[in-house]
Homo-oligomer: A and B are copies of this chain.
Amino acid sequence: MSRRADLLDFAVLGLLHETPMHGYELRKRLNTALGAFRALSYGSLYPCLRELLGKGWIREATGAVEGPARGSTRARIVYELTADGKERFQTMADKAGPASWGDEEFDVHFAFFARTPTEVRLRILEGRRSRLEERLAIIREASVRNRERMDNYTAALQRHGEESTEREVRWLEELITAERKIRS
């Protein structure tokens, strides 16, 4: 469960929550705003859009929602969220829990924290932290086990990975305490 496609659905719905957009712009925002989808291709995005359309979560915006097409006469198809789509997005945001989440899942869900309940936010942040701590434990154990047969470069790479992960844990810790303050 929880395929990559579901995450893309969620991300698209979330971006369209802000403002209606057409596919081309949607892709750019997915590539930059969200850490994941760094190399998302049209071959993935457009079929996804068609699917969301079929499910009734988005619709083609009629009328001049955005300014008229600049720079191209090719018809732009602007999509907007339907009521069902809003509901769907909220359901996904509300029931989110880091059951075997990777980096991408966290990044995307974090990007939409503004529309996520505090309780869920806390659960996600804490889940993320424990996953990173597991990863740290594995890295540290490996560097102890292979200390002798590891050259300087391998060691440097490992140390850098370790430090980055530690920094992210501290970052999460700050967010978690801030979140606890909000809750109380």
Residues of A within 8 A of B (CB): 18-19, 29, 32-33, 35, 107, 110-114, 138-139, 142, 146, 149-154, 156-158, 160-161, 164, 167-168, 171, 175
Are B161 and A111 in contact, with the CB atoms below 8 A? no
Are B111 and A32 in contact, with the CB atoms below 8 A? no
Are B153 and A114 in contact, with the CB atoms below 8 A? yes
Q: What separation, in Å, do the CA atoms of A150 and B18 have in the docked complex?
A: 9
Are B114 and A158 in contact, with the CB atoms below 8 A? no
Q: What separation, in Å, do the CA atoms of A152 and B161 have in the docked complex?
A: 27
Q: Which of B33, B110, B112, B138 contacts A142 (CB 8 A)?
A: B33
Whole-angstrom distance between the Cβ of A12 and the nearest chain B Cβ:
15
Given contacts A32-B139, A33-B158, 12 further A-B contacts (CB under 8 A): A32-B142, A33-B142, A33-B146, A110-B153, A111-B153, A112-B153, A114-B153, A156-B175, A160-B171, A164-B164, A164-B167, A167-B167
Contacts of A157 in B (CB 8 A): 35, 107, 110-111
Q: How many copies of this chain are found per oligomer?
A: 2
Whole-angstrom distance between the Cβ of A175 and the nearest chain B Cβ:
7
Q: What separation, in Å, do the CA atoms of A138 and B35 have in the docked complex?
A: 12
Whole-angstrom distance between the Cβ of A131 and the nearest chain B Cβ:
12
Contacts of A107 in B (CB 8 A): 157
> Can you name 5 A-B residue pairings with CB atoms under 8 Å?
A32-B138, A33-B150, A33-B154, A35-B157, A110-B157
Q: What separation, in Å, do the CA atoms of A164 and B164 have in the docked complex?
A: 7
Contacts of A154 in B (CB 8 A): 33, 111, 114
